[in-house]
Structure 1
Amino acid sequence: MQTSHTATPAASAISLTRRIAAASWKPVLFAALLWLAAAAGEIPVPGTPVPITLQTFVVMLAGLMLPWRQATSAAALYLAAGALGLPVFAGGASTMALVGPSAGFLFGLIPGIIVIALLRGKADLSSAARAAFTAGRYLLAALVGGVAVVYFFGITVQSTLTGVPLTTVALASMAFIAGDIIKAVVAALATSGLSRLVR
């Protein structure tokens, strides 16, 4: 009797540890992918201090593949790493990027990822037509959350911090949008097919 009482808390602790590990590895993986997307290289865009990276693509993947809490945790973990001084942002930047012209694009990752995860719905790959509908819904979610929401925050904060009019910042940001639409298409097609494997 005494043995079973002592075994039960140990088994509960092991079960809890397994649940935490199972819930944590995906956010950690996507936070690392966000860092790799920034570290892999950046393309400077004339007229704006914000470079092109693959971060929005990773945000779209996270929002389309993970439950919204895990996806949000990935973005929050990434931002926290930068806030602590780790060089995880574009160009090896850290804390100062969170108060600079690109801060809105960074802080916009969290609401963007939440919108993607909430809009995407459940994958239905039972037929070609339903798979196409799922891919279309994923594309819409990626465009709304990964482009519209992130850019809203990015453009608004950049305009506020630099004193440049919103329309000017928005026009300069158009160089990013074509690339982000392509990223959204690729993310939607990839994740609608992969969703069978990750769920």
Structure 2
Amino acid sequence: MQSSHTAASAVSAVSVPRRIAAASWKPVLFAVLLYLAAAAGEIPVPGTPVPITLQTFVVMLAGLMLTWRQAASSVLLYLAAGALGLPVFAGGASTMALVGPSAGFLFGWVPGIIVIALLRGKADLSTPGAAALTAGRYLLAALLGGIVVIYFFGVTVQSTLTGVPVFTVTLASMGFVVGDVIKAVVAALAASGLSKLGR
């Protein structure tokens, strides 16, 4: 009896690290993708200090493919790397980006990615109609979490830090919206397609 209990404890002790590794590799992967999206380059937008990068696309994709906990962990891990002084943000910035005009967009990724992950629902690819509904639901989740929520935080914080009226900041930020809608469409199609591959 004692030996079977010891064997069960040993198996449990081995399986805990294995479960932790299985649960953490995806958030780490998406945190690295966030960094690579920033390192790939940025496009400045006149009238706003926030550049265009592919990071919003990565946030949307992570929200559509991970659990809300894993998705939030990927963003928090990325933000923590920047807070520790690593040059992981756009333009090679680190800690100062977390207190600058783009800080609201960075911190807005956390509630945004959680909203995406919670709204997307389960993938149903059993028929072409069900697959289309899944892609449509994914798109709606990406638009609400990846644009509405993130922009709310980004515009509010940028307006507060710069003293520029919210309406003016919102108007200047409209240069991003078309690109982010395209990113949402691509993320929804990619995530629903990858869900099909995983079946």
TM norm structure 2: 0.97
- 5+ residue gaps in structure 1? none
Please name the residue that 2:173 is paired with.
Answer: 173
1:123 maps to amino acid: A
What is the 5 A alignment of 1:104-115?
104-115=104-115
Residue 60 of structure 2 aligns with which residue?
Answer: 60
- Matched position secondary structure for 2:123: coil
CA distance in 2, matches of 1:198, 1:128: 17
Aligned to 2:50: 50
Q: Deviations over 1:73-100 (max 9, x none)?
A: 0011011111111111101111110000
Pairwise CA RMSD: 1.1
Q: Which residue of 1 aligns with 2:18?
A: 18
Residue 162 (structure 1) aligns with: 162
State the partner residue of 1:182.
182
1:1-199 residue pairs with structure 2 within 5 A? 3-198=3-198
Give, in whole Å, the separation in 2 of the partners of 1:86 and 1:117: 27
Q: CA offsets, 1:147-178, max 9 Å, x none?
A: 00000000000000000011110111011000
Structure 1 Cα separation of the partners of residues 5 and 185 of structure 2:
55
Q: CA deviation at 1:195?
A: 1.1
The 2-side partners of 1:95 and 1:44 are apart by 20
Query: What TM-score, normalized to structure 1?
Result: 0.97
Amino acid at match of 1:172: A
**Contact 1:65 1:198 (C-alpha < 8 Å) held by counterparts:** no
Matches of 2:83 and 2:10 in 1, distance apart?
Answer: 36
Q: Which runs of 4+ in 1 moved over 4 A?
A: none
Percent identity (aligned): 82
Once the 2 structures are TM-superposed, how far is the Cα of residue 193 of structure 1 from its aligned partner?
1.3
Q: Deviations over 1:23-45 (max 9, x none)?
A: 00000000000111111100011
Total equivalences in the alignment: 199
